[in-house]
Structure 1
Amino acid sequence: MNLPIPEKMLAYAKEKGISSIVLQGEWCGEGIQKNRLKLKTPEWFVFTARIDDKRSNLDTLKAICEYVGCQMVPVEEEGDNLVEKYPDEQALLARADGIGYNGTVREGIVIRPKEPVHSYTLSGPLSMKVINNKYLIKNGD
């Protein structure tokens, strides 16, 4: 299907019987926020799909991105044993440390359930970001 992204999204919605679909992402590249990923051309990384005003699950997000030809943010790990693997703040900070996309210092990691869960504390879908302290030191943020 050689259509622009909006037309591909409309086709996907029609095929799946969806009333509305929204992709949320972030543009990265030269001239955008110091180009910390060292990209030569602008790239759009999709991190959320909303279907009929509800956040989709991870598998649906992957399917939509593949269908419309969008690049999804890299998913580094999937699993159900988060508390076992990362039982405390130090373990999460160690996981956030390291090299990220394109050989750059990783900004951090985002943790979300595969199936959206409402957080009353956040007044929305549960999600958290663990910032890499080395990224903060290097970039002065």
Structure 2
Amino acid sequence: MQLSTHTDYALRLLIYLAIADGESPATVQDAAARYRVSAHHMAKVAQTLVQLGHVNSRRGRGGGLSLAQPADAIDVGALVRQTENLTLLECFGPNSTCPIDPACRLKGLLGRAQNAFLETLDGHTIADLVGNAAELRALLRPENDVLPNPE
């Protein structure tokens, strides 16, 4: 299964916020620059995470982003379910037009594979992904930039 860029950036942003040192507010622009990704796309991801209740956003001077709950309360499997379209094939939706749908074994196989994928993610939290926070912070330092932010 391939995750969308939106989910990828959501996980990256949550990791970034979980390891933020707290000295200055975390911003979309800074997170995008550290990961060398589009700030525009990261802003859309941040908006989704705010709507889902995973991130707090404060506007204005001194504003920024922060986790809305502890990192150990944000389940990776649940986040993927919230941000992904998990309809693998047309037949997974309610309006299947496939003539073999009632007897198809492929649909069942793919469904079990998808469930196994999600079950592997279940029970793992953002805190699990940042157990090496010092190493992650070092890799995301501004002086490690070698490419410009693609904006």
TM class, shorter-length: under 0.3
TM-score relative to the length of structure 2? 0.26
Larger radius of gyration: 2
Higher strand proportion: 1
